[in-house]
């Protein structure tokens, strides 16, 4: 199955009312596990590489090239996405490498500057047929749109989307990045209102903090792209710890990293089942 653009995965999901799993890649094992899980579920998937992961590897090309190679070898459609990029130069590099989409995050800027910067990036990306996600957030919050208590206004979101020309919008409805418990309370009424007001697919960041039931309900109310990172890292780390604890003399990294890879693959398959399960439509307000 060839590498595909993110829009080729997200657009049908938005029309069909089901979710798309977008999972973060830190090491090669993550990319392999995510694709294995998607193949087991029989559905498309998005591999995401964050700006933080780029810093960890000292550049985008090593981890980006690996993710692209894994995607090209997959038996299901796979897109590769740059997540939470704050620097236009990094966006341009992702476009050159062949990424299908980028998420440009100018949410820490005042609204007018966010609009201007995002519109410029969208123009650059669209010239190369690259799909663009953006974020509408709070000024001053280090977590941007996901600062505690942040909520996205539907009218402002509609205006932002029209003025920037982005293809998808990350919105604040009650999740937060890096949650270690799945206890987030989503404002599902706001999700439905945003879906009615915003003409592009909605993206849920910080989804590791949402339970399976909450994720399913979020999709039913209008979310399409669902980003998950920390939850998979928990599964990976727990499996590695268990394997090392059971074999104290173990030194072969393939053995314990392989256990982590298998755990992530199982969890990805499960989560994709949650996101793509048929569900009744929810009336918009």
CA angle 89, 26, 65 (to 5 degrees): 55
| Residues with Cβ within 8 Å of residue 227, at least 6 apart in sequence | 22, 23, 24, 48, 83, 170, 203, 204, 205, 206, 207
CA angle 279, 34, 148 (to 5 degrees): 65
282: which strand partners? none
Catalytic residue among 83, 105, 143, 167: 83
Backbone angles phi, psi at 227, to 5 degrees: -95, 130
CA distance 29 to 44: 18
Residue 43 in contact with residue 67, Cβ under 8 Å? Answer: no
Residue 39 in contact with residue 75, Cβ under 8 Å? Answer: yes
The separation between the first and the last C-alpha atoms of the chain, rounded to the nearest angstrom, is 39
CA distance 143 to 127: 30
Rg (CA), the chain: 18
Query: In which region does residue 234 sit, left (phi positive, over 0), alpha (psi from -120 to 50) or beta (all else)?
Result: alpha
CA distance 115 to 80: 25
The two beta strands, 131-135 and 20-24, are unpaired
CA distance 179 to 166: 27
Residue 187 falls in the annotated catalytic set: no
CA distance 78 to 68: 9
Residues tagged active-site = 83
């Amino acid at each position: 199955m060839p590498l595909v653009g993110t829009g080729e995965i997200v657009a049908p999901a938005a029309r069909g009312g089901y979710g798309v799993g977008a999972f973060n890649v830190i090491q090669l094992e993550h990319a392999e596990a995510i694709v294995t899980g998607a193949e087991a579920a029989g559905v498309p998937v998005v591999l995401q590489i964050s700006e933080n992961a780029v810093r960890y590897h000292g550049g985008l090309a090593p981890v980006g090239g690996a993710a692209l190679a894994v995607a090209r070898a997959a038996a299901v459609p796979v897109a590769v996405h740059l997540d939470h990029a704050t620097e236009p130069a990094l966006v341009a590099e992702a476009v050159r490498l062949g990424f299908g989409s980028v998420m440009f995050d100018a949410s820490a800027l005042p609204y007018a500057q966010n609009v201007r910067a995002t519109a410029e990036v969208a123009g650059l990306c669209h010239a190369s047929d690259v799909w663009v996600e953006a974020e509408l957030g709070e000024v001053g919050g280090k977590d941007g749109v996901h600062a505690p208590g942040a909520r996205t206004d539907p009218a402002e979101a509609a205006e932002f989307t029209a003025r920037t020309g982005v293809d998808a919008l990350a919105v604040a409805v009650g999740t937060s990045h890096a949650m270690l418990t799945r206890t987030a309370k989503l404002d599902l009424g706001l999700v439905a209102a945003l879906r009615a007001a915003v003409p592009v697919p909605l993206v849920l960041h910080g989804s590791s903090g949402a339970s399976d039931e909450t994720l399913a309900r979020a999709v039913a109310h209008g979310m399409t792209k669902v980003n998950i990172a920390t939850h998979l890292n928990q599964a990976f780390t727990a499996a590695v710890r268990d394997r090392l604890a059971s074999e104290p003399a173990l030194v072969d990294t393939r053995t314990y990293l392989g256990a982590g890879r298998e755990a992530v693959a199982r969890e990805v398959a499960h989560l994709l089942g949650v996101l793509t399960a048929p569900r009744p439509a929810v009336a918009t307000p």
